[in-house]
Structures are given as structure tokens and as C-alpha cells.
Chains A and B, each alone.
Chain A
């Protein structure tokens, strides 16, 4: 269907395209901070389809679209239920004839893939069970913003091998950095989801302390992602040794950073002293969702814009 570009996985974009997005992010962030209006998307509409709850994704996309001069339309499961009642393909045909861009937060990756296959306009994956490319776009940008090139550096992931972890693995291959993963037994990266499972960029560790040793960036996420709430108590027991605390952070490089895509559960996956400490850049990371997604929407609707 059509020739629209989509952003369904991080690897849908080349390194050169992602670097272009980062250049535009720097420009758009500076403009916003200086109060210089830039509204190239006037008259354009973004449909945001949410089948899972969200704070950062809704606010960042809605504010971002407004700042670029366009409008964002929020559709919850009360308004549309993809694949339940009306086929996804039909919903995609109809919605994409009425708006200019679609962002979807849903369950299976397959849903956004099917939607995109029948969409006349670009589709953005705003989180699925398998991938969270918008988050990693912001995370990689944030690291580079703080420390310079990420190539050759080591990113350590401690905890659940979820959608964010899967997408970090894609980033490791694209940006050429080392990705250390430590998960409890039974929660390892799935070969099927973690493309590049046999990649030279990936190293898996049983001991989280070994994974974090000499890392440039330590990151984690909640132990119980959306959709797994009934496993919460069991996970708290199994993940207890995988909390990122000050002792663990001391094993990383002295200038190592800490990231968390939020929301965070202090005392579970991360100790308050770490997430609220000097190595944490979680607020910069959250803010950069706004700026990187503005660059993404600009690129999908206008193509390459020179800074």
C-alpha cells in the first residue's frame, strides 16, 4: 500500500537516517528552548491510537505535534479497538485516508505491521510488546548529547528482557556498541525477538554485576511490563538480585550514566539513590522523547530537512 515510510522498528531506518534525526533533534530542541516558532506541519493531523496506558508517549507526541503547528487526535480503546469488531486492515484504510500520520501503542508487533501494510500515511510504533523504537531513539540521542559518540561504548541492561531491551539490541548493531544483558533465569532475551541474538554486539551474563562492570551506561526497566501484571509478585522474588543499586553502579566506569525509560519503581528495579543520584539522566531522557519524536514526525512528513 503506497510508498509511505514507517517507523515500526529501529532498524527500519539506516544509520545515516538516524544520525540525520539526531541533527534535526539538536536544531528543534534549540528552537523550542529559545522560543523560536517552527510550524512546518500546520494543517497536518496525527492520529494517536492507544490500546495501552501512556503518559510520556501521549504528552510528547501531542505537545510535539502542536509545537510543529499540527494537531494530534487521541483515540483510546473506547474509540477504536484494533482487530476487535473491525479488521485492522479496514481501520488502517479509513484512518489513513483522513489523517497525515498515525502513532499506535498496542500489544503485538503484528498489529502495527498489519496496520502499516494497509496505511496510506506513515505509521509510528509508539510501543508494542516486542519493540519500543521511540524510546531508544531518545535514549541513544540522550547518551550522545551527554557523552559524545556511542560507537564502541558498552551499554548494560539489567532486569527483564522486554521490548526496550529488544530495541537496545537493534541499536547496538546499528550504532556499533556493545550490549551487555543480565536477566534472571527464565527471562532471557528470546532469540526470535532479539534480532541479532548471535550478534557480536551482544553478550549475556548470569551475574548482573559482571554485566555492569566497566559499562558506560547502565539501564533497566520495571520488572513487570504492561500486560504481565498477574506475574508481578513472582517477578519481585525472581528479580530481587537484579536491582540496580549504588554498589552495582560503582562497578561501571566512573563517568557512567544511568537511564530508565520510566515509570520507575524505586526500591524494586532501581534504588532511589541511583535514579535520583548524580549519574542519573532520566529526566533529560524523558524530555528528549519530545525532541526526537518531533524530528521523526518532521522526517516522515517532509523528508530530509536541512538544518
Chain B
């Protein structure tokens, strides 16, 4: 899995597991996907 795929997968996991994102507001998901991105860049792959 290359970096881009990994980030994408991480973002999906974060969104699913949080249970907070019920409406797919793209603005709100900027927050959540970027949190997943920063987590990945700084900590690598974190198992949910």
C-alpha cells in the first residue's frame, strides 16, 4: 500500500469509528481527515 492509499484508508477508518459523522459535510470532514493525516505522518499506521 503506498502512502496515498494508506492515508485514504486511515481517513475512512477514523470517520467510521468516530460515529460523529452522520452528515457528509465536506467542511467538517476536512477536520477529521486531516487529523488522520497528521496522525499517520507523525505516528505511522495506528491500529484502530
**Chain A: residues with CB nearer than 8 A to chain B?**
93-94, 97-98
Chain B residues within an 8 Å CB radius of A97: 25, 27-28, 31
Chain A residues within an 8 Å CB radius of B25: 93, 97
A94 vs B27: C-alpha distance in the bound complex, in angstroms?
6
A93 vs B26: C-alpha distance in the bound complex, in angstroms?
11
Q: Mark B16-36, 1 if CB is under 8 A from A, else 0.
A: 000000000101101100000
A97 vs B30: C-alpha distance in the bound complex, in angstroms?
10
A98 vs B31: C-alpha distance in the bound complex, in angstroms?
6
| Contact residues of B between 1 and 48, Cβ < 8 Å to A | 25, 27-28, 30-31
Q: Main SS of the interface on chain A?
A: helix
Minimum CB–CB distance for A87 against chain B, Å: 13
A95 (CB) vs chain B CBs: closest residue = B27
Q: Main SS of the interface on chain B?
A: helix
Q: What are 10 A-B contacts defined by CB distance under 8 Å?
A: A93-B25, A93-B27, A94-B28, A97-B25, A97-B27, A97-B31, A98-B27, A98-B28, A98-B30, A98-B31
A94 vs B28: C-alpha distance in the bound complex, in angstroms?
7
A60 vs B22: C-alpha distance in the bound complex, in angstroms?
35
A187 vs B45: C-alpha distance in the bound complex, in angstroms?
64
Chain A residues within an 8 Å CB radius of B31: 97-98
A93 vs B30: C-alpha distance in the bound complex, in angstroms?
13
B25 (CB) vs chain A CBs: closest residue = A97
A98 vs B25: C-alpha distance in the bound complex, in angstroms?
11
A98 vs B27: C-alpha distance in the bound complex, in angstroms?
9
A97 vs B25: C-alpha distance in the bound complex, in angstroms?
9
A94 vs B25: C-alpha distance in the bound complex, in angstroms?
9
Nearest 7 CB-CB pairings of A with B: A97-B28, A94-B27, A98-B31, A97-B25, A97-B27, A98-B28, A97-B31
A93 vs B28: C-alpha distance in the bound complex, in angstroms?
9
Chain A residues within an 8 Å CB radius of B30: 98
A93 vs B25: C-alpha distance in the bound complex, in angstroms?
10
Chain B residues within an 8 Å CB radius of A98: 27-28, 30-31
A75 vs B31: C-alpha distance in the bound complex, in angstroms?
17
B34 (CB) vs chain A CBs: closest residue = A98
Given contacts A93-B25, A97-B25, A97-B31, 6 further A-B contacts (CB under 8 A): A93-B27, A97-B27, A97-B28, A98-B27, A98-B28, A98-B30
B23 (CB) vs chain A CBs: closest residue = A97
A98 vs B30: C-alpha distance in the bound complex, in angstroms?
9
